[in-house]
Amino acid sequence: MQFIVDAAKESMDAALAHLEKEMLNIRAGKANPIMLSGVKVEYYGTPTPLSQVANINTPDGKTLTVQPWEKNILADVEKAILIANLGFNPMNNGESIIINIPALTEERRKELAKLAKSEAENAKISIRAARKDANSEIKKNQILQRTFKKTMKLTFKI
């Protein structure tokens, strides 16, 4: 019985962790290095996360700077940021890439609110599914226990 409860709790915790990760990816107007976490750079023929080939900093609340460890991949990093379709316009200054985070428009705020609501609903659905699975397993387990007890009583009476 405890195993079923632990498995349900683990599944629910995973749903919440996924929700946290998705909420961090939602851009709310302030520069954050996590915004570039999904960007993959072609590095010696292998798609590599940007954070593994460059330093990503936030000098202020509206700017991200990306400084690759190797200067020869600067153009590849810029191209990868553009391809990621994050709505950013990277500027290459020869040593690093500067990304100015545009201010949010009312339309974009509404879109982000819908996205956040959708992600929260997906997490709720996952948690409900885990609870439903746990409840059905517990009921199945209880029915098996009752059946086993009845069978044992009949066996000993004979």
pLDDT digit string (tens) for the chain, length 158 residues: 788 889 999 999 999 999 988 887 776 667 788 888 888 998 888 888 988 999 999 888 888 899 999 888 898 988 888 888 777 888 988 889 999 887 778 887 888 889 899 999 999 999 999 999 999 998 988 887 777 777 766 666 55
**Dihedral sign (CA 135, 140, 145, 149):** positive
Question: Which pair of tokens denotes residue 28?
Answer: 């709310």
Output the pLDDT for position 154: 62
Output the pLDDT for position 30: 76
Output the pLDDT for position 123: 95
How many residues does this entry show for the chain? 158
Output the pLDDT for position 158: 52
Q: How many helices (H) and strands (E) does the chain have?
A: 3, 6
Q: Give 63's strand partners.
A: 60, 100
- The whole-angstrom separation of Cα 58 and Cα 5 is 43
Give the alpha-carbon dihedral of 63, 67, 72, 73, to 10 degrees: -70
Output the pLDDT for position 153: 66
Range of the domain at 148: 1-28+104-158
Read off the pTM.
0.60
Output the pLDDT for position 102: 77
Question: Does one domain contain both 49 and 15?
Answer: no
Question: Does one domain contain both 35 and 22?
Answer: no
End residue of a domain, out of 83, 103, 123 = 103
- The whole-angstrom separation of Cα 84 and Cα 39 is 6
Question: Does one domain contain both 23 and 59?
Answer: no
Output the pLDDT for position 16: 94
Question: Does one domain contain both 81 and 130?
Answer: no
Question: Which pair of tokens denotes residue 29?
Answer: 């107007």
Question: Does one domain contain both 86 and 116?
Answer: no
CATH of residue 148's domain is 1.10.132.20
Question: Does one domain contain both 56 and 97?
Answer: yes
Q: In total, how many domains does the chain have? A: 2
- The whole-angstrom separation of Cα 134 and Cα 132 is 5
